[in-house]
Amino acid sequence: MRLIAKAISRDYLNVSFKSGDNTVEIVERPGRWMDTVRLKRLQSDLVSVATASLESGALEYGVLSGERERLENAIITLVRRSKDQKPIAFNALSLMDVQQSRARTRVIHLGLVMVDPSERQKGLSWILYGLTCLLLFLRGGLRPLYVSNVTQVPAVVGMVTETFSEICPTPEEPEPRDFRKVLIAREIMQTHRGVFGVGADAEFDEKRFLIKNAYTGGSDDLKKSVDEASKHRDEKYNAWCMRELNYDRGDDVLQIGLIDLAAAQRYVSRTVPRGSLIQLAALGVLVVTRRVFLPAAHWFNSKRDYGLLRAR
């Protein structure tokens, strides 16, 4: 494994590594620190994957909008084919701040995942679903982090439910019982609709966490029919989505849950290929070292000036 750590800032992830025949790059909030040339190249790579994935290739929201501000709160996981550096897949997470009691709470929106059709079923799922969330969880000192997800695809509903903790709604818990999640959902729908391409005219059913007529805010080309939506291997998720969502109108479900130690354990044991565990461990050590041990080493070294981290 070849691992390259780029310490642009200890506050932002900026890591690349090789995985099989591909190169994976994870960049956090690139709109805040990338120069214009590099940012345009990143956006071009994302659009390239989207164009290959969709017949129209016409998505105009979030990180595909071409607006720098959309990348100021995004975390991009981009996969390129190593031999020719062609972008073949990406995951675009978004960081949203919402009010929770008297403090602001960070929510990780699971966002948009797109894969070039010619590269599907080639073992990229562990990278695109969960890896970046795990790294953020490790960097945060194993403190639980809220996650949100908006989808109409039964396979995604099931994957999110089985990967993360305390997810609602689900077939087992169709209505939220935790009022904190209700408050988070309210603010997401009030102030963050643009993150997942839901228009102002979409109606939110707070009791069931359903978004009615969701595909009117830039995500129009992601709308799927019942037959087009990928099914989950567990029929209960398929049946629940068919019952709860109106696919002709274009409904979505808003799921909210946590990434905690139990979720991290499930991800590592169920999703990460055995051959990639050492690679994952190296990434985890890198993130924890940059966040905890490196600042501590700087602090106790009184012979060298580290700016804001200088020892006193």
Mean pLDDT of the chain: 84
Is residue 209 included in any domain, yes or no? yes
Is residue 62 included in any domain, yes or no? yes
pLDDT at residue 309 is higher than 60:
no
Is residue 273 included in any domain, yes or no? no
Is residue 99 included in any domain, yes or no? yes
Is residue 292 included in any domain, yes or no? no
* Global pTM value: 0.83
Cα separation values, 172 from 162, 167, 185, 208, 237, Å: 12, 10, 19, 12, 10
Residue 191: domain span: 3-121+129-264
Share of the chain above pLDDT 70, in %: 82
pLDDT at residue 185 is higher than 60:
yes
Is residue 287 included in any domain, yes or no? no
Instruction: Tell me the pLDDT tens digit for each residue of 152-176.
Output: 999 999 999 999 999 999 999 988 8
Q: What pLDDT does residue 53 have? A: 87
Q: How many domains does the chain have?
A: 1
Looking at 59-73, 121-135, 194-208, which range is the least confident one?
59-73
Instruction: Say how far apart CA 58 and CA 54 lie, in whole Å.
Output: 8
Is residue 288 included in any domain, yes or no? no
Instruction: Tell me the pLDDT tens digit for each residue of 49-61.
Output: 988 888 665 677 7
Q: What pLDDT does residue 100 have? A: 73
pLDDT at residue 78 is higher than 70:
yes
pLDDT at residue 308 is higher than 70:
no
Mean pLDDT, residues 222-242: 94
Please tell me which residue, 120 or 249, carries the higher pLDDT value: 249
